[in-house]
Amino acid sequence: MSGPRKIIIDTDPGQDDAVAILLALASPDEVEVLGITAVAGNVPLPLTQKNARIVCELAGKADVSVHAGCAAPLKRKLVTAEHVHGKTGLDGPVLPDPVMPLQDEHGVDFIIRTLRDHPPGTVTLCPLGPLTNIATAFQTAPDIVGRVQEIVLMGGAYFEVGNITPTAEFNIYVDPEAADIVFKSGVPMVVMPLDVTHKALVTKPRNDAFRAIPGAVGHAVAEMTDFFERFDREKYGSDGAPLHDPCVTAWLIQPDLFAGRHINVEIETTGALTTGMTVADWWGVTDRAPNATFMREIDADGFFALLTDRLARL
């Protein structure tokens, strides 16, 4: 396929979401961001749509179309993650309130319209948060499902199990019914679970490299990851914060940084202990058809080299 890959970023920023968006906006040769749809997740919707616009302005890309989507999961009360991301979702740097507008069109309507307006198989959906907007779009307009080129998402876990419950990763846990719809949709999928993202750690040298980038972007990213890492250091005893969501963007730009398997992944929606679990048939012990390329390995040094190089372009 010639030209940059057309994507819609569906997101609940979040410091790591912010870095994923910055990486996409810094890489116009590889990805063309058709628009950003915000969803409730890390923080409630009024903050996620505001944060998405703050990040676009930080990148100097105030012309990006930003849309507010769903404010609550399909069937559950919203669970948020201020304990990780701070009360704004972007705690760390002090960034100005956005001046660029929030579009009037609902995020779900934007997803539907964009998929209908473009030739089938030319738009990739990149969800970085709960899958509420994507599932709602698929339920509202079943004709668009077959038009999606691919879904590349951050979510789930298998070997690393859970981060919000003992068995569930946050994005899937917040709206497991939505995740179930998306994973059963038949759209080709690439999944970046905690198994990969917990290997993409912002160590001090890596963060120093961000901070050394001239201009506002590198400094802001360094302050975000400084804030973000307290939680993970305390919880996992790790060397720094995992940059979960930028793995999605990095895969679009440089897929050879990652390795995984094409397997069956099912979403648990009714488990007493396991709601929101991504049940990944890594060892092929069922006869369920593969529905996702589930990543497990990352070249972390290559990933941070890409990130540092691209952020310096903004």
SS3 for 137-163, per residue?
A: HHHHCHHHHHHEEEEEEECCCCCCCCC
> DSSP readout, 249-313?
HHHHH-GGGEEEEEE-EEE-SS-TTTTT-EEE-TT--S-PPP-EEEEEEE-HHHHHHHHHHHHTT
pLDDT at position 241, please? 83
What single-letter amino acid sits at 269?
T
Query: From CA 56, how far away is CA 223, in angstroms rounded?
Result: 17
Q: Within 10 Å of residue 199's Cβ, how many Cβ atoms?
A: 17
Report helix angle 45-58 to 15-25, nearest 10: 40
pLDDT at position 2, please? 74
Of the residues 67, 85, 198, 244, which is catalytic?
244
244 in catalytic set: yes
| 295: β partners | 260
Query: From CA 169, how far away is CA 30, in angstroms rounded?
Result: 29
pLDDT by 10s per residue, the chain, length 314: 579 999 999 999 999 999 999 999 999 999 999 999 999 999 999 999 999 999 999 999 999 999 999 999 999 999 999 988 999 999 999 999 999 999 999 999 999 999 999 999 999 999 999 999 999 999 999 999 999 999 999 999 999 989 999 999 999 999 999 999 999 999 999 999 999 999 999 999 999 999 999 999 999 999 999 887 766 677 777 788 889 999 999 999 999 999 999 999 999 999 999 999 999 999 999 999 999 999 999 999 999 999 999 999 99
* DSSP three-state, residue 97: coil
pLDDT at position 143, please? 98
In 3D space, the residue among 65, 76, 10, 14 whose CA is nearest the CA of residue 44 turns out to be 14
Query: From CA 251, how far away is CA 147, in angstroms rounded?
Result: 21
| 31: β partners | 5
Query: From CA 158, how far away is CA 160, in angstroms rounded?
Result: 5
What single-letter amino acid sits at 248?
V
Query: From CA 269, how far away is CA 284, in angstroms rounded?
Result: 21
In 3D space, the residue among 66, 15, 68, 71 whose CA is nearest the CA of residue 40 turns out to be 71
Per the structure block, which two tokens stand in for 51?
Answer: 């944060």
Using CA atoms, how far residue 98 sits from 56, 64, 66, 102, 166, in Å, is: 9, 12, 12, 9, 37
Per the structure block, which two tokens stand in for 278?
Answer: 């991504």
CATH number of the domain at 5-311, out of 3.10.450.50, 3.30.70.930, 3.90.245.10, 3.30.390.50? 3.90.245.10
pLDDT at position 234, please? 74
Rounded to 5°, the CA angle 176-255-163 comes to 30
User: Strand runs (DSSP E) across 146-214, as ranges?
Assistant: 148-154, 189-192, 201-202
pTM (predicted TM-score): 0.97
Domain residue extents for the chain: 5-311
CB-side neighbour CA atoms (13 Å) of 1:
13
